[in-house]
Structure 1
Amino acid sequence: MPSNAPPPGADDPLDLHGVVPPTVTAFHADESLDAETTAAHARFVVDRGAHGVFPLGTNGEFALLTAEERARVVGAVADEVSEVPVIAGVGAPSTHETVEHARRAADAGTDGLVVVTPFYYPLDDAGAVEHYRRVAGSVDLPVYVYHIPSKTGNHLSLDAMRDIAAIDGVAGLKDSSKDVPWLGQAVADCEGLTFLSGSDSLLVPGLDLGCSGVISAVANAFPELVVDLYEAYDAGDEHRARALQREVYAVRRALKRGPYMAGVKAALSLRGFDAGPLRSPLRGMDDADRNDLESDLRDRDLL
């Protein structure tokens, strides 16, 4: 458990804290699912200090997978990782489909569920609260709300978040809104929940606000860096933690070069871990971007 970093919420049976990478989904060259390498990536981050793993998040390309593939990913990761919590993404546009994904993930052995707000169709407060009530009531696993309005088009109001926090089975929130005042108020209003900062731009600021952990895309490729940041913060070494946050800023900028989300798999391949291509219509880096990324990472002694 943390020493100086914020503790997880009292309503969180998994006591999530520290660094929880949103692990990648690996594909073969023909873009078919590579479940073995997907599980190996979860092992890669855990062996380098991660405190949990989150398959089927945004970095896991969950929206591009079939229901059967999603269940295979969860099963492969849950079979591989037992020493830290596995929290699996199960979100979908409809409540019905989300419940089906939740039940499949529970059957596959996950420890908890990450439920992104429904997307595409606009959602009011009553619809959001009822969605989480039905999902949390469908399985006997802790549910973590995933708030990323830039991708879903649905921003949770603080009133809705308070009502969702009161639902039995809701254990925490992963906030990727980058709305610091919103997050600060949610932390203050929902004391029993575990809060996880969902942006590499707000790792230390998120901990300052009361988040017990960080869900970091940078940690998919360089878990050691983000684990060092968290451990420095937890040890009370604020100066080192903030210096490492500046390093994360630089790595984040390097990884954002080229097509959307291409940087993490490119950086992993530069480290000798081949997770294959992204699934279409996402695409990887061209040679020029990859060479520039390699140069940036070598300049920072990360390769």
Structure 2
Amino acid sequence: MAEVIGSMSALITPFLNGKIDFVTYEKLIRRQIQYGMDAVVPVGTTGESATLSHDEHKECIEAAVQICKNSGVKVLAGAGSNSTKEAIDLSQFAQKMGADAILSVTPYYNKPSQEGLFEHYKAVAQSVDIPVMLYNVPGRTGISIEIETITRLAEIKNIYAIKEASGSMERTISIATSVPNIKILSGEDAINYPILAAGGVGVISVTGNLLPRLIAKLTKSAMSGEDKESRQINQTLYPINHTLFVESNPIPIKAAMFIAGLIPSLEYRLPLLKPNEGNYRLIEKIIKLYEVEL
């Protein structure tokens, strides 16, 4: 069972006239392949999964798998839901399409107990044979997977990792110390380097949509123990990492991609809107500090 680790981008979902722009989607994924990313992550938070239809969600997974086929770049398919039944359906579809692993966010809105979280993830993991990565992002979902629950989940054979997007280094170190048999990947660009330095085995990056080569280089150097180089890259990336979260993700990253000429139309699904004028100008200013390869 090949586990998916290393440098990954949480892909945006480009829209054109209200529909998914699959022509641009393919170009963006091929760009990820070209600039050295280890994997792509379709239909996560950054991919606006919350406002895609069930069919659109599946179409994005299928497209990513087909585009990455024979490239050496893996697909970690976003397949989470606040409905266990729906999460199982998406996970099984991802496996059927040939995804390498699934990323499963904690159920949002309904705020289950820790036992509910355990049973949810157990049911999802047992419904597929491919690896499962937990996704902890309490700022989005209103619930956090406690260390004790992670410990129990790590005993399920195909639950291999957690995307930690709580923003807490203390929690990250606590997981690494308490649950050594679960791999940790950074879900917060601002602390990619500290998490990697603390034993993380990869990043799932928003910034990677815009600057895949730099994110791949940061991850590789940090995981190889080249601390001086990875620290320097981390410092270089800080202004853009910070700016891409001045409004709710993926509002700034899609604006950045549009400004850089990587997507032809700046479209979101309601209730998300374009960034306000001041933030749009800030994004324009910060992008000028970087060489964005097309």
User: 3-state SS of the aligned residue for 2:10?
Assistant: coil
C-alpha distance in 1 between matches for 2:115 and 2:148 = 10
User: 3-state SS of the aligned residue for 1:211?
Assistant: coil
Structure 1: which 5+ residue stretches go unaligned?
Answer: 1-12
Specify the code of the residue in structure 2 equivalent to 1:293. I
**Match for 2:163 among 174, 181, 206?**
174
Question: In the alignment, does 2:103 pair up with 1:117?
Answer: no
**Match for 1:74 among 34, 38, 61?**
61
Worse-matched range after superposition: 42-51 or 279-288: 279-288
Equivalent residue for 2:286? Answer: 296
Equivalent residue for 2:47? Answer: 60
Equivalent residue for 2:23? Answer: 36
User: 3-state SS of the aligned residue for 1:20?
Assistant: strand
User: 3-state SS of the aligned residue for 1:299?
Assistant: coil
User: 3-state SS of the aligned residue for 2:102?
Assistant: strand
Shift of 1:194: 2.4
C-alpha distance in 2 between matches for 1:153 and 1:65 = 21
Specify the code of the residue in structure 2 equivalent to 1:57. G
Shift of 1:264: 1.2
Equivalent residue for 1:10? Answer: none
C-alpha distance in 1 between matches for 2:248 and 2:159 = 35
Question: In the alignment, does 2:212 pair up with 1:203?
Answer: no
**Match for 1:101 among 80, 83, 90?**
90
User: In 1, are the aligned partners of 2:46 and 2:249 still within 8 Å (CA)?
Assistant: no
Equivalent residue for 2:2? Answer: 14
C-alpha distance in 1 between matches for 2:51 and 2:111 = 21
Structure 2: which 5+ residue stretches go unaligned?
Answer: none
Specify the code of the residue in structure 1 equivalent to 2:137. I
- Relative distance call for 1:275 and 1:214 in structure 2 (3 A) is farther
Specify the code of the residue in structure 1 equivalent to 2:46. N
User: In 2, are the aligned partners of 1:19 and 1:226 still within 8 Å (CA)?
Assistant: yes
Equivalent residue for 2:214? Answer: 225
Specify the code of the residue in structure 2 equivalent to 1:69. E
User: In 2, are the aligned partners of 1:198 and 1:214 still within 8 Å (CA)?
Assistant: yes
Worse-matched range after superposition: 121-130 or 142-151: 121-130
C-alpha distance in 2 between matches for 1:14 and 1:282 = 36
Question: In the alignment, does 2:12 pair up with 1:24?
Answer: yes
Deviations 1:41-90 (A, max 9, x none): 22211211111111111101111111111110000010000312101111
C-alpha distance in 1 between matches for 2:249 and 2:158 = 34
Percent identity, aligned pairs only? 27
Would you say how many aligned residue pairs link Structure 1 and Structure 2? 290
**Match for 1:49 among 36, 44, 50?**
36
C-alpha distance in 2 between matches for 1:173 and 1:266 = 28
C-alpha distance in 2 between matches for 1:111 and 1:300 = 32
- Relative distance call for 1:275 and 1:117 in structure 2 (3 A) is farther
RMSD: 1.9
Worse-matched range after superposition: 225-234 or 62-71: 225-234
User: 3-state SS of the aligned residue for 1:105?
Assistant: helix
Equivalent residue for 2:255? Answer: 266
Relative to the length of structure 1, the TM-score reads 0.89
C-alpha distance in 1 between matches for 2:86 and 2:178 = 30
> What pairs up with 1:181-200 in 2 under 5 angstroms?
181-200=170-189
Worse-matched range after superposition: 227-236 or 111-120: 227-236
Shift of 1:212: 0.6
Question: In the alignment, does 2:90 pair up with 1:90?
Answer: no
Question: Higher strand proportion, which one?
Answer: 2
- Relative distance call for 1:237 and 1:35 in structure 2 (3 A) is same
C-alpha distance in 1 between matches for 2:95 and 2:225 = 37
Specify the code of the residue in structure 2 equivalent to 1:104. F
- Relative distance call for 1:181 and 1:137 in structure 2 (3 A) is same
C-alpha distance in 2 between matches for 1:302 and 1:39 = 18
Relative to the length of structure 2, the TM-score reads 0.92
- Relative distance call for 1:162 and 1:144 in structure 2 (3 A) is same
- Relative distance call for 1:259 and 1:54 in structure 2 (3 A) is closer
C-alpha distance in 2 between matches for 1:178 and 1:33 = 31
